[in-house]
């Protein structure tokens, strides 16, 4: 069974002259153990797709199924719980908390979500893989864009979600770090059975993908 399935999803923003049809009937599914890339130009609807798939916003019509369950029937408490326990978000803005150090970002996760986070050992390994072990005492504004991005990736993975949704996770990374992040998502899929859906413009991630979709004007076509 697919972990995430979208059936004929449409999303309309605004009204009258300001009306934008951001998604025009998307059918999509992702399975555990897969890395899926969503590519396409600016304004194609990629972030809209990702936030609807993660139940952060509702579609105008169509169904989102998470582990076979219709997300539109979840109460706000249930969708909150789902996003906390099953879905890891890495969004376009890095969303680190500005007044917490790198280490404290993770302590915060422990406060909000008390169970099933990575062990200390696994977290240290993840820090090493992402090359951020030396940064734990720094604040976000003392980090480069790429470093912030890698901390945001580590924080999403720390909560050990089943599904990872990432919007441009490699946008400010150099080639070596892109390769590390690509390998990391691939390994999480193959060794830990995670489903990763990555929105990206970055062709350097293509070799790590099981499936590639192209978005254009609110429609999606499968390329691989
Ligand atoms: N909250 C909103 N209100 C109104 N229109 C919106 C809103 N969010 C997105 N749109 C519009 O919907 C369309 C799709 O936007 P979206 O952000 O999903 O594109 P994208 O593919 O993620 O682009 P980018 O690569 O630039 O991030 C665009 O025309 C955008 O202007
Ligand atoms: Mg976007």
Between CA 60 and CA 39 the distance in angstroms is 23
Q: For ligand 1, say whether the CB of 22 is within 6 Å of any of its atoms.
A: yes
Residues of the chain with pLDDT under 50: none
Handedness of CA 54, 55, 58, 62 (dihedral sign): positive
The reported pLDDT for the residue numbered 22 is 98
The reported pLDDT for the residue numbered 72 is 86
Strand partners, 63: 7
Q: Is the pTM of this model over 0.75?
A: yes
Each domain of the chain, given as residue ranges in start order, spans 4-222
Q: How far is the CA of 11 from the centre of ligand 1 (A)?
A: 11
The reported pLDDT for the residue numbered 94 is 67
For residue 68, what are its two tokens?
């076979």
The reported pLDDT for the residue numbered 141 is 95
User: Could you tell me if 177 and 2 are in contact, meaning their C-beta atoms sit under 8 angstroms apart?
Assistant: no
The reported pLDDT for the residue numbered 92 is 75
Q: For ligand 1, say whether the CB of 44 is within 6 Å of any of its atoms.
A: yes
Measured CA to CA in angstroms, residue 6 lies from 26, 32, 53, 116, 212 at distances of 7, 15, 7, 27, 16
Q: How far is the CA of 92 from the centre of ligand 2 (A)?
A: 7
Strand partners, 137: none
User: Could you tell me if 35 and 200 are in contact, meaning their C-beta atoms sit under 8 angstroms apart?
Assistant: no
Q: For ligand 1, say whether the CB of 48 is within 6 Å of any of its atoms.
A: yes
For residue 109, what are its two tokens?
């996760």
The reported pLDDT for the residue numbered 179 is 93
Between CA 140 and CA 182 the distance in angstroms is 23
User: Could you tell me if 157 and 126 are in contact, meaning their C-beta atoms sit under 8 angstroms apart?
Assistant: yes
The reported pLDDT for the residue numbered 172 is 83
Picking from 220, 212, 221, the residue whose alpha carbon sits closest to that of residue 9 is 220
CATH numeric code, 4-222: 3.40.50.300
Q: Which residues surround ligand 2, an ion (CB under 5 A)?
A: 47
Nearest Cα residue to atom 3 of ligand 1 = 13
């Amino acid at each position: 069974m697919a972990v995430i399935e979208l059936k004929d999803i449409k999303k309309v923003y605004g009204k009258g002259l300001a009306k934008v049809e951001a998604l025009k009937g998307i059918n999509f599914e992702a399975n555990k153990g897969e890395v899926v890339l969503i590519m396409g130009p600016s304004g194609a609807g990629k972030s809209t797709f990702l936030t609807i798939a993660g139940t952060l916003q509702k579609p105008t019509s169509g169904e989102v199924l998470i582990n076979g369950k219709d997300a539109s029937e979840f109460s706000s408490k249930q969708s909150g719980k789902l996003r906390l326990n099953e879905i890891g978000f890495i969004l376009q803005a890095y969303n680190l908390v500005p007044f917490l150090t790198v280490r404290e970002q993770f302590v915060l996760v422990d406060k909000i979500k008390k169970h099933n986070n990575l062990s200390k050992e696994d977290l240290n390994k993840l820090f090493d893989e992402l090359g951020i072990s030396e940064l734990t005492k720094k604040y976000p504004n003392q980090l480069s864009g790429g470093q912030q991005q890698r901390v945001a990736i580590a924080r999403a993975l720390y909560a050990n979600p089943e599904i990872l949704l990432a919007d441009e996770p490699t946008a400010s990374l150099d080639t070596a770090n892109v390769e590390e992040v690509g390998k990391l998502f691939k390994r999480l899929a193959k060794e830990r059975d995670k489903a990763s859906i990555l929105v990206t413009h970055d062709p350097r991630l293509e070799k790590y993908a099981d499936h590639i979709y192209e978005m254009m004007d609110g429609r999606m076509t499968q390329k691989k």
